[in-house]
Amino acid sequence: MPERKQRGAFIVIEGLDRSGKSTQVSLLEKRCKDAGLPVRLVKFPDRTTPIGKLIDSYLRSDSEMDDHAIHLLFSANRWELAPSIIESLNAGTTVICDRYAFSGIAFSAAKNKPTMSYEWCRAPDIYLPAPDITLFLDVSPEKARERGGYGAERYENAEMQERVEHVFERIGVEIGDGSRWFAVDADREKEAVAEELWERVQPYVKGTEKPLQRLWE
């Protein structure tokens, strides 16, 4: 029988503000490298592209934008990187992603606008590459405060974060809580969180033969 081709795994880290996403993606990248596994880090929003620069200006409140328009720009920012993500995966590289489409839905649906339903917010990301596993870093508001509190950017306040958390809960259930989506207690020490993430990614991190799925298929 011909050997089935392995591809890299697509691993997404999601979570609220100050849950330690950026810290953990770096630790995970290092562990992959130390284990001799090819790995690439991606972060959304990617503020370096022309679309990303518009998003950056909006998040810093340097510019205003209609809520629908900024939502579509966040999605466009993912679509512009999607071909290169697929290319990396097909080349056997594990892709670790700091926030993804789930943040897009959660932050926009949390605005509670009648014209921005959950379904509307989800639509532009349909058919993006689907993660093999999503690890949701669950941090309590008390711990987030201890870590320097919320920052100065748009959305960085307790009320918004609470609404965002409720949308994330719904997404987790729909994606497959306990199978393709795992909530991880992110109140613990960095090392303890990193250890759990490393264990969770073990079934995927050495590559997979599973065809890459598309979001919400």
Could you list the residues that contact Mg ion (CB under 5 A)? 21-22
Whole-angstrom distance, CA of residue 39 vs CA of residue 193: 20
Q: Choose the contact partner of 59 out of Mg ion, ligand Z5A, none; CB within 5 to 8 A by kind.
A: ligand Z5A
**Amino acid symbol at 145:** R
122 is an interface residue for ligand Z5A by CB under 6 A: no
Choosing from 9, 10, 14, 20, the residue that interacts with ligand Z5A (CB under 6 A) is 20
For residues 81 and 133, which CB has a smaller minimum distance to ligand Z5A in the complex?
81
Q: What is the dihedral of CA 77, 78, 80, 81, to 10 degrees?
A: 120
For residues 120 and 206, which CB has a smaller minimum distance to ligand Z5A in the complex?
120
Please list the alpha-helical segments (H only) found in the chain.
21-34, 50-59, 67-90, 101-109, 118-122, 141-146, 158-175, 190-205
For residues 25 and 89, which CB has a smaller minimum distance to Mg ion in the complex?
25
| Shortest CB 132 distance to ligand Z5A, Å | 19
171 is an interface residue for ligand Z5A by CB under 6 A: no
Strand partners, 138: 185
* Distances 2 to 5, 7, 99, 166, 179 between C-alpha atoms, Å: 9, 16, 37, 46, 29
For residues 35 and 65, which CB has a smaller minimum distance to ligand Z5A in the complex?
65
Per CB under 6 A, which region of 3-11, 87-95, 143-151, 195-203 contacts ligand Z5A? 143-151
Q: Which residue has the tokens 């609404």?
A: 163
Q: Choose the contact partner of 189 out of ligand Z5A, Mg ion, none; CB within 5 to 8 A by kind.
A: ligand Z5A
**Amino acid symbol at 11:** I
Choosing from 19, 88, 94, 134, the residue that interacts with ligand Z5A (CB under 6 A) is 19
Nearest to 156 by CA among 51, 43, 19: 19
Dihedral (CA of 29, 30, 32, 36) sign? positive
Q: Choose the contact partner of 172 out of ligand Z5A, Mg ion, none; CB within 5 to 8 A by kind.
A: none
Q: Which of residues 43-102 bind ligand Z5A (CB under 6 A)?
A: 44-45, 59, 74, 99
For residue 9 the two structure tokens come to 């795994």
Q: Would you say 97 and 131 are in contact if contact means Cβ atoms under 8 Å apart? A: yes
Choosing from 107, 136, 168, 181, the residue that interacts with ligand Z5A (CB under 6 A) is 107
Q: Choose the contact partner of 156 out of ligand Z5A, Mg ion, none; CB within 5 to 8 A by kind.
A: ligand Z5A
Binding site for ligand Z5A (CB under 6 A): 15, 17-23, 44-45, 59, 74, 99, 103-104, 107, 147-148, 151, 155-156, 189-190, 193
